[in-house]
Amino acid sequence: MRDVVLVGAGPMGEAWIDTVSRRDDVRLAAVVDLRPDAARDALGRRGMELPVFASLDDALAAGSADIVLNVTIPAAHLAVSSTALRAGVPVLSEKPLTETLAEGLELTALSELTGTLVATSQSRRFSRGIIAFRDALRPYGGAAQLSARFFQNPRFGGFRDEMDSPLLRDMAIHTFDQARFLLDDEPTRVYCEEFSPPWSWYRGAAAADAVFGFAGGARFSYSGSWCADGLMTSWNGDWHASAAGGSATWDGETTVRVQASDEPRTAELPDAAEGLDGALDEFLTALDGGAPPSGEVHANIWSLAMVEGAVASSATGRPVEFAELFADAHARAVAAAPSEVAAVLRAWSEPAPRRA
């Protein structure tokens, strides 16, 4: 049985409380939130009484922890995950890994320095639909041209309405990470334009079009909006992939269609844990000696880089090369990181980390 400390008791924190509670090999040991009453309310709605703390330092000092779930706002991700890693406690974090790519590189180096696992829960990788979509393309050598449309209209209120680049920074990372999963490759280049339709209620740009080039030659195009009233896509988007000799589509939910030279067919969905359950299952398997989770920091930082690259391209009006993006972030990380972490960064053979 592993003890879990949850940091962040907002709506996603509550979803993680329920996810942990469904398992018999982990248990929630404590909850941390800057608003202790909010944490107590979340627990009380579930008939649970557990220790509540205002800081992770206090929680770690008061009891045992085998896993930290970091469900704080992005601006707090580096500080919370770093505290856990320095205490030797593995971290499963909500996306994004950190708020910036430079911070992500610092956290990657700290994970190496401490020898402690940190991974991001990219829960939208864990759906039966996306697995069937990926598997349907394998007989044709994988996709060479991949596209995703994402059109939704959430009215969250709060910080998202005031963010710069709310679509790219808060939501598109899911779709970008799914593209990496489907292509099993890393991006090399991106061109992106952000904009807002005149009816948008967001301060920042709430729509974007982007094209990514990948190392193996594939292209991924993204078109999205967070203020699209009517005819909305799934929260997983609507996908089309072309490969040598065949194509496939995925509606973002449960329908995967495949066609080669014959009639179109519907692919069968595999049995698989989905969402947060799948992300936690994969993380625990890694702690038990299995393969690194797909969201392990060395790999997942590339999804964060796709966001930062798209935002940078939109700001400059030109394509962004990922080699340049990582070189700049690496220099900023070395300048900002504690000396022992900066030493790890300087020892890397290249600015961009590679999958463990």
The three-class DSSP label of residue 219 is: strand
Summarize pLDDT for 143-163 with one digit per residue, the tens: 999 999 999 999 888 778 888
Q: Are the beta carbons of 153 and 227 closer than 8 angstroms?
A: yes
Q: Which amino acid would we find at residue 121?
A: S
Q: Are the beta carbons of 279 and 295 closer than 8 angstroms?
A: yes
In this prediction, residue 356 carries a pLDDT of 61
In this prediction, residue 63 carries a pLDDT of 86
In this prediction, residue 41 carries a pLDDT of 95
Which parts of the chain have pLDDT scores under 50? Answer: none
Homologous superfamily of domain range 2-123+275-294+323-347: NAD(P)-binding Rossmann-like Domain (3.40.50.720)
Q: Which fold has domain 127-266?
A: Dihydrodipicolinate Reductase; domain 2 (3.30.360)
In this prediction, residue 50 carries a pLDDT of 96
Summarize pLDDT for 106-142 with one digit per residue, the tens: 999 999 999 999 999 999 999 999 999 999 999 999 9
User: How does 280-310 read in b/e, with b if 16+ C-beta sit within 10 Å?
Assistant: bbbbbebeeeeebbbbbbbbbbbbbbbbbbb
Question: What residues does CATH 3.40.50.720 cover in the chain?
Answer: 2-123+275-294+323-347
Q: What does the alpha-carbon distance between residue 232 and residue 236 come to, in Å, rounded to a whole number?
A: 11
Which stretches does DSSP call E strand in the chain? Answer: 2-7, 26-32, 52-53, 67-70, 91-94, 118-121, 145-151, 187-195, 207-214, 219-225, 238-243, 246-250, 256-259, 265-266, 320-321
Q: What one-character DSSP code corresponds to residue 126? A: -
In this prediction, residue 282 carries a pLDDT of 97
Question: What residues does CATH 3.30.360.10 cover in the chain?
Answer: 127-266
